[in-house]
Amino acid sequence: MAKEITSRSEDYAQWYIDIVKKAQLAENSAVRGCMVIKPHGFAIWENIRDQMDRMFKETGHQNAYFPLFVPKSLFEAEEKNAEGFAKECAIVTHYRLKNDPDHPGKLIVDPAAKLEEELVVRPTSEAIIWNTYRDWIQSYRDLPLLLNQWANVVRWEMRTRLFLRTAEFLWQEGHTAHATAEEAVAEARQMLDVYAQFAEEWMAMPVIKGAKTANERFAGAEDTYCIEALMQDGKALQAGTSHFLGQNFSKAFDVKFLNENNQQEYVWATSWGTSTRLIGGLIMTHSDDDGLVLPPRLAPVQVIIVPIPKPSEALSEAAEKIMRALRAKGIRVKYDTDMKNRPGFKFAEHEMRGTPVRLGLGERDLLANQVEVARRDTKEKTNVSLDGIADYVETLLETIQQNLFNRARTYRDSHTTPADTFEEFQHILDNKGGFVLAHWDGDGATEEKIKELTKATIRCIPFDGEKEPGKCILTGNPSAQRVLFARAY
RNA sequence: CGGGGCGUAGCGCAGUCCGGUUAGCGCACCUGCUUUGGGAGCAGGGGGUCGUGAGUUCGAAUCCCACCGCCCCGACCA
Question: What tens digit of pLDDT does each residue of A179-194 get?
Answer: 999 999 999 999 999 9
* Parallel/antiparallel/unpaired status of strands A457-462 and A357-362: unpaired
Å from the A399 CA to the B69 C1': 44
Half-sphere exposure of A211 (CA within 13 A, CB side): 15
Q: DSSP class of residue A100? A: -
pLDDT (tens digit per residue) in A97-106: 888 777 777 7
Question: Measured between alpha carbons, how far is residue A32 from residues A83, A114, A392 in Å?
Answer: 24, 24, 47
Distance CA A167, CA A157 (A): 6
Average confidence (pLDDT) over A125-133: 97
Å from the A307 CA to the B28 C1': 23
A298 within 8 A of A286, measured Cβ to Cβ: no
Q: Please tell me chain A's helix, strand, coil percentages from 3-state DSSP, rounded to the nearest 5.
A: 35, 30, 35
Whether the bond between A309 and the residue before it is cis, its omega within 30 degrees of 0, is yes
pLDDT (tens digit per residue) in A433-469: 999 999 999 999 999 999 989 999 999 999 998 888 9
Whole-model pTM over 0.90 = yes
Q: Sign of the CA dihedral A217, A219, A225, A231? A: negative
Smallest CA–C1' separation from A363: which nucleotide? B37
pLDDT (tens digit per residue) in A398-407: 999 999 999 9
The conformational region for residue A442 under phi > 0 = left, psi -120 to 50 = alpha, else beta, is left
Whole-complex ipTM: 0.90
Is any atom of nucleic acid chain B found less than 7 Å from the CB of residue A157? yes
pLDDT (tens digit per residue) in A443-453: 999 999 999 89
Is any atom of nucleic acid chain B found less than 7 Å from the CB of residue A33? yes
Residue A1, pLDDT score: 32
The angle at the Cα of A341, spanning A340 to A346, to the nearest 5 degrees, equals 140
Å from the A166 CA to the B4 C1': 23
Q: Sign of the CA dihedral A308, A313, A314, A317? A: positive
Is any atom of nucleic acid chain B found less than 7 Å from the CB of residue A397? no
What is the pLDDT confidence band of residue A3, given thresholds at 50, 70 and 90? low
Mean pLDDT of chain A: 94
pLDDT (tens digit per residue) in A140-176: 999 999 999 999 999 988 888 899 999 999 999 999 9
